[in-house]
Chains A and B, each alone.
Chain A
Amino acid sequence: MALNGAFSHLTIEVTDLDKSEAFYLDVIGLDLLGRDLVAEDRPTSLLAMNTRQRVLLVEVPEVPPYPASGGSIHHAWLLTVKQFAKARDRLEALGYEPAIDPRQSFRAVGEFNMDIHDPDGHRFQIQAFGDEGTEILGSGAGTVACGKIGEFAPGSVTRIAKGRFFLVRNADGFLALSAWCTHKNGITTWQKESWHYYCPFHGAKFDANGVYKGDMGCQPLRLNPVSIDDDGTVLVDTGRFFAREGYSPSQAVPARPGAVFQCGGLRELTVSLERPVSKARE
């Protein structure tokens, strides 16, 4: 059967209804709809978000402790970036420890997170996504000289950290694939064992030519233009980006001196933000 419905509410067991209600109203910022509006044997409080979703607090004598295996158990609030900043201020004003993101290394650009526990230890993730997540990010590296044609074997993928791209030599020639994930601006890695690029932030995978494989509807990795000078040096312009619908051999630059990128039929994108590679990640 298809549920063909929507999420309605999260029921949360709490041991002190007044205390927990205050937490969800004052810290998380929910609205109070009322008490005992639901068929439960115990006192309840029904709280509202701006969408149809609700939180139902049910007072119980004891909340089962999270099992040792419960590290993955959590619920995530989605806030706007402005709401996120206000929530962080509220947390600090109410005396909470500065909220941290325990999985910062997994986050994409523009993804804001912090973890918080309610008075009974229920773990919540508070998240917001800024516009940076979908902006076109330049590395500021300009044109990068990668090396001579012969340094790159057919079938090779070379990560050029300085310019945030992968230099691919396939049967058709050279491609420079921007390493920024087209989903939410995570930084992809080449997993040669699996013959794909992988984004650790949300799990997106792209084949060797940068075409997305999966059901999140991502666009292929973007192209930086490649050219080869008369000496046979492979150059990549990291200041220009082209979007594409898939791979075609015409996107590759033939492996011979003087060959240049042909952008016919591709859409050039405007760089909206420079994100130079930090020394730590070079």
Chain B
Amino acid sequence: MAQAETLSHSGICVHDLKEAQEFYCGVLGAEMKGAVNFYTEDTLNGRSVHQAYALGDYLFAVALAPDFMPMPPKDQLRGAMGVRHAFTVAKARFDQMIESLTRAEVPFEGPVDHPENGPFGQSVYFKDPSGNFLEILWRRDEDVTYAPIPDLDVG
């Protein structure tokens, strides 16, 4: 039994909040959960300007980078730049997700087959418009019951 239940959210930086919203909400189907704009009291006190999206059961706090943020090479579709977030879909929907990425003209790498002795099945790799690396996969353990994910919270 692990001593940590779950990851609850991540804060990542982007160059352009509007562009990020179009990608996460428009392309990936995330839902806007909250926002802190330039004028709220806590922003004036130093809190980041950010928007929060629920993507599946995960919360992304997407913050506006206050200065230059390095981008990976345009043709590099798989990488991490420190970290990469991966989302799982049912195996039966995996091909649909690939078709959706293709329709939305999101370049991706894959599908890549994972070793059969591990829990992952196949992955595709891509980036958001600010160069944050993402992954969608299906998992061999999709029928296993785990502890439930707590409710999302815009923390």
Identify the A interface with B (CB < 8 A). 1-13, 28-31, 33-34, 36-39, 46, 48-56, 58, 60, 63-64, 66-80, 83, 86-87, 103, 106, 111, 122, 127, 129, 184, 189, 191, 198, 200, 202-203, 214-216
Contacts and interface: CB of A to CB of B under 8 A. Distances in A.
B104 A1 contact: yes
Contacts of A30: 2-4
A51 B148 contact: yes
A72 B50 contact: yes
A67 B4 contact: no
Interface residues of B, number: 80
Contacts of A70: 13, 69
Interface of B: 1-13, 27-36, 40-42, 47-48, 50, 55-58, 61, 63, 65-70, 80-90, 93, 96-97, 100, 104, 112-115, 117-120, 123, 135-137, 139, 141, 144, 146-150, 153-155
Contact of B117 (A13, A37, A122): A37
Given A66-B82, A77-B8, A202-B154, A1 B27 contact: yes
A198 B69 CA distance: 31
B70 A11 contact: no
Given A49-B5, A83-B5, A215-B33, 13 more contacts: A3-B136, A28-B3, A30-B2, A39-B113, A46-B118, A50-B2, A51-B146, A69-B69, A72-B11, A74-B11, A75-B7, A87-B4, A203-B154
Contact of A34 (B68, B100, B113, B118): B118
Contacts of A53: 6-7, 149
15 contacts: A3-B56, A13-B80, A13-B82, A38-B114, A38-B115, A49-B6, A49-B7, A64-B70, A67-B67, A74-B11, A75-B10, A76-B7, A86-B3, A202-B155, A203-B40
A1 B58 CA distance: 16
Contacts of B100: 1
Contacts of B90: 5
B89 to A, nearest CB: 4
A73 B69 CA distance: 12
Nearest to A103: B47
Among A28, A46, A55, A70, chain B packs the most CB atoms within 10 A around the CB of A70
A74 B67 CA distance: 17
